[in-house]
Amino acid sequence: MLWIIDTAPFFLGLSAYLIGNRIDVLRQKNREILEIQEQLILREQMASIGKVTAGIAHEIKNPLNFVSNFAEGSAEVAGELAEELDRHREKFTAEELDYLRELINELRQNAGDIKKNADRATRIIFTLMDINRGGEGPDIAVDINALLDENINLAYHGYRANYPDFNMDIKKSYDQSLPVLWLNGNSLGRVLLNLLDNACYALYQKQKTTSCDFLPTLTVSTQWENGRLQICIKDNGPGISEGVGQKIFDPFFTTKPSGEGNTGLGLSLSKDIVEKEHKGRIQFESQEGQYTQFMLQIPIRTLDPNNN
């Protein structure tokens, strides 16, 4: 009887510990269940929004094509009208000719502005449709270093086509031991091209506002470690302020001029692709006036799962 009394506190303490530990485990499981529930609710809401958005985008796309095409046609008609006016200029006074030419030029400019903004709206529509499609497309065998090279060329030469005075130095540090990876190369390529386009834009903005001693430099690296791919894209452009950095992944947020066809969806879409489709992470670090670096970390398979 004495032995039972003496050891009772021990067993009571052990029971309390086990119960407390059990409660902690249950609380953790409840938190996990609530998080999963919230994710499922959000996913269902986003899927519904995506379907509505895709439907609206599809309905708007065709009328926008008509607007763009007729604006282009109107500009051509204005040009033909100007040619006819020149052929019959002897029928008008100098003042009348100047007035008519001014009207024709105004018509041509208005048609150009209409087409420019219709094309911008069309780009927004296609971006929204891309968001709704999400990870559409099969996984394929991808050489990451080659994919980066391809998109660097696309971004650089695409930017130089619009701004011939733009030049940059490209530094590459590729992990040559990278295996051929199995992933959705189309969606990852879209992310890379967006980040590289942004880097070219940042470098050109700094090139225009600094001395001729500034050398725009793009630094790109890849690394494969413990089943994870890491890609770093760095530019020595103007950097990102703390205030802008807090909103940089927000949908429709952009620091670029609205008249240049920018939707503010590039980084938001890139984040969704990396985190939701590829189950990875996208982060950035920046020092204002010095540099910006984006880092992608993606867990990737190296074999075709269909052959396993």
Q: Tens digit of pLDDT for each residue in 63-100?
A: 888 888 888 888 898 899 899 888 888 888 889 889 99
Please indicate, yes or no, whether residues 253 and 152 belong to a single structural domain of this protein: yes
Q: Which of 91, 107, 133 is the last residue of a domain?
A: 133
Q: Which of 105, 133, 161 is the last residue of a domain?
A: 133
CB 86 within 8 A of CB 105: no
What does the alpha-carbon distance between residue 246 and residue 286 come to, in Å, rounded to a whole number? 12
And the tokens for 123? Answer: 């780009």
Please indicate, yes or no, whether residues 90 and 119 belong to a single structural domain of this protein: yes
Looking up residue 299, the CATH number of its domain turns out to be 3.30.565.10
* Other beta carbons less than 10 A from residue 58's beta carbon: 13
Band the pLDDT of 229: cuts 50, 70, 90: very high
CB 216 within 8 A of CB 288: no
21 or 244: whose pLDDT is higher?
244
Please indicate, yes or no, whether residues 54 and 185 belong to a single structural domain of this protein: no
The DSSP element (H or E) to which 195 belongs, if any, is helix 185-209
And the tokens for 95? Answer: 């003042």
CB 168 within 8 A of CB 156: yes
What does the alpha-carbon distance between residue 150 and residue 147 come to, in Å, rounded to a whole number? 5
Tens of pLDDT, residue by residue over 186-201, are: 788 889 989 999 999 9
At residue 46, the pLDDT reads 54
Q: Which of 78, 99, 133 is the last residue of a domain?
A: 133
3-state helix, strand, coil split of the chain in percent (to 5) is 65, 15, 20
Please indicate, yes or no, whether residues 300 and 178 belong to a single structural domain of this protein: yes
Q: 133, 137, 254: which is closest to 197 by C-alpha?
A: 254
Band the pLDDT of 2: cuts 50, 70, 90: very low
Q: Which residues contact 63 (CB under 8 A, 6 or more apart)?
A: none
What does the alpha-carbon distance between residue 46 and residue 54 come to, in Å, rounded to a whole number? 12
Domain that holds residue 249: 140-307
Cα 198 versus chain centre, distance: 9
Please indicate, yes or no, whether residues 151 and 227 belong to a single structural domain of this protein: yes
And the tokens for 65? Answer: 């094509």
Q: 251, 245, 252, 247: which is closest to 284 by C-alpha?
A: 245
At residue 190, the pLDDT reads 86
Please indicate, yes or no, whether residues 189 and 280 belong to a single structural domain of this protein: yes
At residue 8, the pLDDT reads 55
pLDDT for residue 283 is more than 60 = yes
Please indicate, yes or no, whether residues 111 and 89 belong to a single structural domain of this protein: yes
Tens of pLDDT, residue by residue over 110-119, are: 998 898 888 8
Q: Collapse the DSSP code of 246 into the 3-class scheme (helix H, G, I; strand E, B; otherwise coil) and give the result.
A: coil
Please indicate, yes or no, whether residues 109 and 144 belong to a single structural domain of this protein: no
What does the alpha-carbon distance between residue 164 and residue 51 come to, in Å, rounded to a whole number? 41
Band the pLDDT of 9: cuts 50, 70, 90: low
Please indicate, yes or no, whether residues 61 and 152 belong to a single structural domain of this protein: no
pLDDT for residue 205 is more than 70 = yes
Tens of pLDDT, residue by residue over 289-298, are: 899 999 999 9
Please indicate, yes or no, whether residues 148 and 234 belong to a single structural domain of this protein: yes
And the tokens for 140? Answer: 């394929």
pLDDT for residue 32 is more than 80 = no
Q: Which residues contact 175 (CB under 8 A, 6 or more apart)?
A: 145, 221, 222, 223, 224
What does the alpha-carbon distance between residue 198 and residue 123 come to, in Å, rounded to a whole number? 17
Please indicate, yes or no, whether residues 46 and 163 belong to a single structural domain of this protein: no
What is the total count of domains within the chain?
A: 2
Please indicate, yes or no, whether residues 146 and 292 belong to a single structural domain of this protein: yes
Ranges 111-120, 140-149, 198-207, 214-223: which has the least confidence: 111-120
